[in-house]
Amino acid sequence: MSQPPPNPASDLPNRKHLRRLPVAFMAPPIYLVTVCVLERRKVLAEQQMAEMVISLLKETSERHGWLVGRYVVMPDHVHLFCSPVTGLSSLGTFVGGFKESSTRAAWTLGWEGRLWQHEFHDHLLRSAESYGQKWHYVLLNPVRRGLCSQPEEWPYQGQIEAF
């Protein structure tokens, strides 16, 4: 009597399939974006540079059809919450436009070469709760770094538009 051929699928352990969370993205979408200075240099610790970055966040967002909500400018990176208003520009085009215009402005302040890392990090928020949690984490960044004792003491954080 011959044996049936081996069945590799039956030799695998039973795996429990985990349920995925329901998709609960906000409409319109809100992104948390982090843009880092090249080699994490602390160039944004200079008041003139930090204020220039904040000014260009507003200008670039308007030009590309995006809203910028809350933001924190750290010495070596920027966190911002943003949301598209129109289909005028993709997230990558908006962030690229901001990086380009702020680099050009930095050159007028004496900076030489590239200002930003090539890439940026983005996170699509799932809910209003996520927005609050992420903002709380970002807002405490200067405190965790020892730059101030209370978040409201940090001069380079704020809100351009309310979401």
Topology adopted by domain 28-159? Alpha-Beta Plaits (3.30.70)
4 vs 95, residue with greater confidence: 95
Q: Is 161 within 8 Å of 71 (Cβ atoms)?
A: no
Q: Tell me how far apart the alpha carbons of residues 82 and 159 are, in angstroms, rounded to a whole number.
A: 11
Q: Is the pLDDT of residue 19 over 70?
A: no
Mean pLDDT of 3-31: 63
Q: What is the per-residue pLDDT across 61-76, written as a single tens digit (0 to 9) for each?
A: 999 999 999 999 999 9
Q: What percent of the chain has pLDDT over 90?
A: 77
Q: Tell me how far apart the alpha carbons of residues 52 and 22 are, in angstroms, rounded to a whole number.
A: 40
Burial tier of 73 (Cβ tally within 10 Å: 0-12, 13-18, 19+): buried
Q: Is the pLDDT of residue 154 over 80?
A: yes
Q: Tell me how far apart the alpha carbons of residues 86 and 140 are, in angstroms, rounded to a whole number.
A: 31
Its pTM stands at 0.82
Query: What pLDDT, on the 0 to 100 scale, is given for residue 129?
Result: 78
The full set of domain ranges for the chain reads: 28-159
The band of 28, judged by pLDDT with boundaries at 50, 70 and 90, is confident
Mean pLDDT of 95-118: 97
Strands 66-73 and 31-36: unpaired
